[in-house]
Structure 1
Amino acid sequence: MSKKSNIKVGETNAFIVSWLRDYATNAKVNGFVIGISGGVDSAVTSTLCAQTGLTTLCVEMPIHQHSSQVSRGREHIEQLKKRFPNVKNVETDLTTVFETFKKVVPSSDDDIKVDLSLANTRARLRMTTLYYYAGIYGLLVAGTGNKVEDFGVGFYTKYGDGGVDLSPIADLMKSDVYALGEYLEIPKSIQNAAPTDGLFGDSRTDEEQLGASYDELEWAMIEAENNKNAADFSGREKEVFKIYSYLNSVNQHKMNPIPICIIPELYKKN
């Protein structure tokens, strides 16, 4: 179930950069702000933004972050600043904010729910921070979610890393993002690192959380779009397809518009 990118990398790169530049120009903003995690998605997104020539602010927001993620993020930022004079960076350590938050909210006996809620809290604190910088510098918050995460399995935090102004790589599969990363010459340490969301303060990988690799999930997403179902497969393929189908189902609330209670006309005064 290995997956290779089928995009024309150079042309795709140029198209996204042009799209970003046009959108920012029409919105009358100064550029973009991106949260840097040390992963391939944020590295590719920030490099795409940097190519526009507009202000590109890279923000590190550690919260008890694993050292390997911090070092990869800093390596990428330093490389990007050497290549593009319009790139700026800032670090906002949110650890004390996070710890204060934990002290003022109630606890629970359900450790699993607490851990997940606090992981999502990290993402939402970071979203708030990015919008603060966006507000004071006149920037757009650029999302770093790819197609599998955003529209396949919903592997992101609603109003956290999902809270953005525009999503330049959300129509790219993970394999496409890696292909762009290689083309853009992002650090090898990032290209070779196992994907992780970095929300638990340890080194657990996305694959460990999801139960399948991105290559496998891409395969399942394509098969689902071709109207296949679990009965069409066996062995590992069947297991992966079930994982994908379950996550896609339970996370539809992230992918669909917010439900609105429409008031019937008969309840309205003429």
Structure 2
Amino acid sequence: MKWIESSQNQKIKTWRKCHKKKWRDEYGLYLIEGLHLLEEALKVPSRIQSIIYDEHFQSQKNDWPTDDIEEYCVPSKLFQELSQTESPQGVIAVCKMPNQSVEIEERGRYLLVDGVQDPGNLGTIIRTADACGLEAVFLGRGCADLYNEKVIRAAQGSHFHLSIAAVELSETIRQMKKNNIQVYGTSLNGQGLEYTPRSAHSFALLLGNEGNGVSEELLSLTDVNVKIPIYGAAESLNVAVSAGILLYWLRGFEG
């Protein structure tokens, strides 16, 4: 393990820049923070470039697969400069952005996201897609940055469990239909849900922006559009909550 104590060290400067999207994209790197996210990332150790420890960090980490990962220790004051949380756990990992190319399979289950701007919503949607066993999530224009700290925290490690790619959604929908994958849009003018889950072996669900929903252009490409009934006085459901209801409705319950 190497010791770094100067804020002018080139690695510190690079890691600090990774809090901004411009530099994340340029370096192909992003930061995750805390024990849980690190442990999830270590399930795919090739995705981790470096691990940074606060000088006072203590953990039973003897079984962590870090042999091929650079490890650094820094003074607490310097660690605070890199941390983005109110109560840091003393460990940060520098991760590599993966190749975002995703092959669409005929028997796959997918989520398409059109312009979801809130990082917390996007992260929760990704986590829900992971819990539901989807093969991939496709992000269209206008979505929050996948590697925003709030997206990462809300996703709770799902970045390391499933494929996520930024795409042109209209082209992706056309590819799915060529592969006989039924594409479900979400619309206030869609048909109401049936009471029994679909138990679909393949599907794609298209979710839209928090305020405006899915664009009319994309809705015109779907096979069927659905809506979740509102029984009370609320105007609408949160998009992440809607994702959970619809994904499990489509996925079905297999016992």
Q: TM-score, normalised by structure 2?
A: 0.30
Q: TM-score, normalised by structure 1?
A: 0.29
Work out which structure has the larger RCO, using CA pairs closer than 8 Å and 6 or more positions apart in sequence: 1
Task: Tell me which protein shows more helix as a share of its residues.
Answer: 1
